[in-house]
Amino acid sequence: MKLLAWGRLLRLSLAPSAAADVLCGSTLAYGGSLHWTSATTRLVAASLCVYHGGMALNDWADREHDRATRPDRPLPSGAVAASGALSLGLVLLALGPLLAWSAAPAAGYWMAGVAVLAAVYDLGGRGPWSGPLLLALCRAGNLGVGFALVSDSRWRPLGLAVGLAYGAYVFLASRLGRMEDREDARPLGSRPRRLLLGCAALLLLLPAIPPGLSRGTVEPTSWVIGAVLVVGASYGVLRTAWTRRPWTPARVEEAMGRLLRRLLVFTAAACMLATSWPTEVPCFPASVPATGLPGILVGVAILAGYPAAHALRRVFPPS
């Protein structure tokens, strides 16, 4: 039971989405294919450290508030000591940039910035607009760290556009999350619906980005598969938005879980939509494999984490 409590503290059900950010960003950085090296492995590990370290520090900072609103969480319930949560959070937040630096110094500095943003959010950046903005920057930065491994700048406009769309999605989802956590005491009204519609619109916008900004030839079959994926994902969000039942905290929590699970769909679809052929990159350093894994297969691998995340959320709730 002690291990389960630590897993709940770290929100282990969200680990696949944190790893997917790096895989997606690295795929975009290489123009639509993933060129896996040991540096990629260290970046994924760094991302998981910073992400889950931020979760632990977040619960430590919220422990008094959670005593009233979420008494079943690990800290207010006494399942995990506050000092242990603080120590683990700080260690993971420091370890992440070190791992990234071992992959590439630029990646270390980049990940240090993400860790600082996460700590600022946890320890005081909880305003109604500043909080969601910090979370959006963290997730967009997590996706963009893969570009620190690449010296070729041809694909950066594509990565920047996808990162901005991803960050906007996280921003809107975080605004909804404030209602779930009762940080926003105003009447719910139709506000959850508007945020859900915004998230659906960003999903539907995604297929237009790679054809407009990719410097290679987008593979049409992969693009169609990615587009169908985002249309299906947005349909579920739209259906949730237009349900006629009144909005309650329980419905907001359900909708928030749906948006969080679509983080994996977002990154998987971005990889599929950006797939380009051929996948050779002779201009990159010799340590990088000349032929990479096509983006469509990276997207399939990311989606394979969806069932795992769904199963883990029963044991380790994502919020």
Domain boundary assignment for the chain: 2-312
**Chain mean pLDDT for the chain:** 87
pLDDT tens-digit map of 36-59: 889 999 999 999 999 999 999 999
Tell me the per-residue pLDDT of 254-310, one tens digit each, with 9 for 90 and over: 888 889 889 999 999 999 999 875 445 544 454 555 567 899 999 999 999 888 877
Residues 83-121 have pLDDT tens digits of: 999 999 999 999 999 999 999 999 999 999 999 999 999
**Alpha-carbon gap, residue 56 to 91, rounded angstroms:** 10
Rounded distance, CA 105 to CA 47, Å? 15
Query: Do residues 209 and 158 lie in contact, with contact meaning Cβ atoms separated by under 8 Å?
Result: yes
> What integer pLDDT is reported at residue 47 of this predicted model?
97
Instruction: Determine the pLDDT at residue 233.
Output: 94
pLDDT of the residue at 207: 95
Q: What is the pLDDT of residue 181?
A: 62
Q: Note the pLDDT of residue 286.
A: 46
Q: What are phi and psi of 273, to 5 degrees?
A: -65, -25
pTM over 0.75: yes
